Amino acid sequence: MKRDKPILCLCLLLSLGLILSLAAPTLAAASINGEIKLDERAYADGSSNQISWNRAEFKLKVASELSGQAAGYAELKLRTADGPDVSSLADLASKSKVSAYSLELREAYIDIFGFPLSNLDIRAGKQRIAWGTADKLNPTDNLNPYDFTDFLDFGEKIPTNAMKLTGYFDNTTLTLASLPVFTPAAMPSTFDSSINGYINAYLPAGMTLVSSESQLTLPNATLGNSMYALKLARTIWGQDISISYFKGYDSVPNLSNLTLTAVSATQMASALTMTYPEIQVLGYDLAGSFNDIGYWLEVASFTPDQADQTVISPAGTTTTEVGQYTKYTVGWDYTFTYDIYVNQQWMHGFFDERGSTLSDFLITRIEKKVMDDDVLLALNWLAEYNNGVVGNMFGPKVSFYPADATEIELGGFNITGAAGSTLSTWANLDQVYLRFKYSF
Amino acid sequence: MNIRTIITGLLLLTALICPALAAKELSGQEILDKSQKLNEADSRAASMEMKLIDKDGEVSKREVRFWSKGEDKRLIKFLSPADVKGVGFLILNADSDDEMMYLYLPAFKKIRRISGSAKSGSFMGSDFSYDEIGSTGYNDDYKAERLDDENGQFKLKLSRKDKSDAEYEQLIMWVSQEAFVPTRVEMYKEKKRSGKAYLELRKVMTAEKITKTGKYWMPFSITMEDVKKGHKTVLTMSNVKVDDDVPDDYFTQRYLQR
């Protein structure tokens, strides 16, 4: 399959060129923009200094509005892998293995404005539907799946195929969205090891795991399993308020069944079943400003179906029932004297958490631009409180803007966490990074 | 010299003297009010190019498209540089207690509510604040006192009203007697040294190329200089349209993200 990638890439670029040349007479209304990035990261554990990330990225964005009634947008992302994908002598003869890359159609959608009624807009295609008023920590934003692959953009979302209809009625906006096929979250590279850790935690003392099977079941792509959502938003007394409803699937897999079987006196085998629970989410958003202080509140009440976790072992069967639960984010921001920007949020319930025992996080971001805005100093601090267990993550960052549309970012993060905290599982991920970005 | 010549001469003299007399009688507040009312268009649309010039003379450019309707609705769309292209900024109920500001970030496909404290922040790295871009009036925030005219222009001292949250305590303003357009504004902030308060000059705005467009006089070039940083921004306007009936729809979240 990977062998086809260069051909696919070439075809796409040729098609793009052909489309652009054919559309030359109308190109006045089309714009081509993009980004070039280099992202280098290394573990900062003081011993291995291993490079954790080594990626160059080319992003192409094409937007066209040929009339005031319709528009199109597409975004292609071509990215190198962290290193060569070479594991055999034969691989050395494959350019795509030696210089590995991936191509992603990030977004591709069509906008039809004022159709079928003048106050209605339709957007159809692969798209990001971003809901919620909080800053990146949005429990009501459940339409697109999470992308956990990049630790620095944790909580990022993957655009998916959808149809969105937005109606504007004076001060009120009604949005309806339909997502025909479920797409799961992209999990971090440490997902496999965290699953092993989960299984090992249930092994009786003195037993070792000799074999493990896992089965992942996605919802069938049927009309009945299509996901849909609606949101009603309105400004009341200067406050932006919305209520929303989502019926679909949780994009993070649930470890629904783990069966441990003894194969000898000291050895065990495991069989793990992972599913994606059906969820209904009732959301409430609020954003406003008081005395020049911005504030927001986002509450999501989740009603899952079949989100229980069962563990069957020689010691017996235990089932953790997961009923209705509520996640929320509340935050504020303010620009103080000397243009010092502070943004603080309290988040109840981490992205992948479900059930009644949810962690709490205080996330603080402080920013200050210096040297005629050519340099941005930022400090991110995430403090975790999880039933008496605490953890901290500090992330200082310096961004340089040596020229227009050009950014150099230098930063790092240090993570500590007491046993049992979410952050303790990331404690060995301390890293430093250097990123370059140019937009055109 | 016949009677006809005398009458014509008297009429000409009256025509010349009366505006000057009238101008002399105007109070500072009246001049400030007039400068706002005379040039208050129902709507404006303009392309703006900003040249940011640092103390070493290095220049970078920004381009935006600007629309306003009445005194309370403004929309700004960022055209360049590429990293901010597509960003939109919408202000509703401007300069009032119910002011609402929204920022559209195309990379996130999201509209964010912006707090009022961000108003005094730099607009795209320029020497203009968000509050100063598109703002046409001073009389909501300042009371004016007339000083002695200078170089054929009115000179006013504007003191911040008690309840105002305007950034500067005092402004010294020069106003064109013909166009009633501020041609120079010096902005002072209160500082304290050894327990004594004093006013420090922070920024100077200079308006040039004042031209009549439709019924209104307006500057086509505005320079804002940050005196402390030695940095300045030259804002040049083009494709200016006034009273061109900008649709109300433009000042909505629907249009902000288009």
Residues of B (173-202) whose Cβ lies below 8 Å from A: none
Beta strands in A170-207, from DSSP E residues, in sequence order: 172-179
Sign (positive or negative) of CA dihedral B110, B114, B119, B121: negative
- Which chain B residue shows the shortest CA-CA distance from A129? B109
Considering only CB atoms, B118 lies closest to which of A335, A373, A405, namely A335
Average pLDDT, chain A: 90
Q: How confident is the model at residue B120 (pLDDT cuts 50, 70, 90)?
A: confident
Considering only CB atoms, A287 lies closest to which of B113, B117, B254, namely B113
Q: A208-217 and A267-275 as β-strands: parallel, antiparallel, unpaired?
A: parallel
Tell me whether residues B117 and A127 touch, CB distance under 8 A.
no
Say if residue B15's pLDDT is above 80: no
Sign (positive or negative) of CA dihedral A146, A334, B167, B230: negative
| pLDDT at A3 (0 to 100) | 47
| pLDDT at A327 (0 to 100) | 98
Residue B182, min C-alpha distance to chain A (Å): 27
Asked if B42 and B50 touch (Cβ cutoff 8 Å), the reply is no
**DSSP 8-state assignment for residue A389:** E
Average pLDDT over residues A326-345: 94
B chain contacts of residue A437, beta-carbon cutoff 8 Å = 83
Say if residue A28's pLDDT is above 50: no
pLDDT in tens, A348-365: 999 999 998 899 999 999
Tell me whether residues B81 and A404 touch, CB distance under 8 A.
yes
Residue B94, min C-alpha distance to chain A (Å): 12
B153 burial type by CB count under 10 A (0-12 exposed, 13-18 middle, 19+ buried): middle
How many other CB atoms are found less than 10 A from the CB of residue B30?
A: 12
Say if residue A194's pLDDT is above 70: yes
Tell me whether residues B125 and A373 touch, CB distance under 8 A.
yes
Angle, vertex CA B177, rays to CA B171 and CA B183, nearest 5: 40
| pLDDT at A111 (0 to 100) | 96
Q: How confident is the model at residue B17 (pLDDT cuts 50, 70, 90)?
A: low
Q: Which of A122, A289, A365, A401 to mutate to test the interface with B (most CBs of B within 10 A)?
A: A289
Q: What is the ipTM of this complex?
A: 0.86
Determine the Cα–Cα distance for residues A298 and A302; give it in Å rounded to an integer. 13
Average pLDDT over residues A208-226: 93
Domains located in chain B, CATH noted:
26-256 (2.50.20.10)
Average pLDDT over residues A402-428: 90
Tell me whether residues A439 and B82 touch, CB distance under 8 A.
yes
B98 touches chain A (CB under 8 A): yes
pLDDT in tens, B67-117: 999 888 999 999 999 999 999 999 998 877 788 999 999 999 999 998 888
Say if residue B192's pLDDT is above 90: no
Say if residue A12's pLDDT is above 70: no
Q: A340-348 and A325-336 as β-strands: parallel, antiparallel, unpaired?
A: antiparallel
Residue holding tokens 């049992």? A420
Nearest to A295 by CA among A332, A267, A330: A332
Determine the Cα–Cα distance for residues B109 and B105; give it in Å rounded to an integer. 6
Asked if A400 and A408 touch (Cβ cutoff 8 Å), the reply is yes
Query: Which token pair is A425?
Result: 């599982």
Tell me whether residues B254 and A173 touch, CB distance under 8 A.
yes
B136 touches chain A (CB under 8 A): no
Tell me whether residues A289 and B252 touch, CB distance under 8 A.
no
Asked if A298 and A284 touch (Cβ cutoff 8 Å), the reply is yes
Tell me whether residues B117 and A33 touch, CB distance under 8 A.
no
Letter string b/e over residues A23-36, b meaning 16 or more CB atoms within 10 A of that residue's CB? eeeeeeebbebbbe
Nearest to B121 by CA among A333, A330, A400, A331: A333
Tell me whether residues A334 and B109 touch, CB distance under 8 A.
no
Determine the Cα–Cα distance for residues B76 and B92; give it in Å rounded to an integer. 12
Average pLDDT, chain B: 87
pLDDT in tens, A99-145: 999 999 999 999 999 999 999 999 999 999 999 999 999 999 999 99
Tell me whether residues A440 and B82 touch, CB distance under 8 A.
yes
Percent of chain A at pLDDT > 70 equals: 94
B chain contacts of residue A291, beta-carbon cutoff 8 Å = 116
> What residues are paired with B184 via a beta bridge?
B174, B206
Q: How confident is the model at residue B41 (pLDDT cuts 50, 70, 90)?
A: confident
- Interface A-B, measured as beta-carbon pairs within 8 A, has a size of 93
B252 touches chain A (CB under 8 A): yes
Residue holding tokens 């006809």? B4
Determine the Cα–Cα distance for residues B102 and A420; give it in Å rounded to an integer. 40
Q: Give, for A10, the enclosing helix (H) or strand (E).
A: helix A5-22
CA A269 to chain centre: 33
| pLDDT at A2 (0 to 100) | 46
Percent of chain B at pLDDT > 70 equals: 90
Region of poorest pLDDT, from A12-21, A214-223, A270-279: A12-21
Say if residue A45's pLDDT is above 80: no
Considering only CB atoms, B113 lies closest to which of A111, A240, A339, namely A240
Tell me whether residues B54 and A168 touch, CB distance under 8 A.
no
- Which value, to the nearest 10 degrees, does the dihedral of the CA atoms of residues A217, A220, A224, A230 take? 70
> What residues are paired with A273 via a beta bridge?
A215, A257
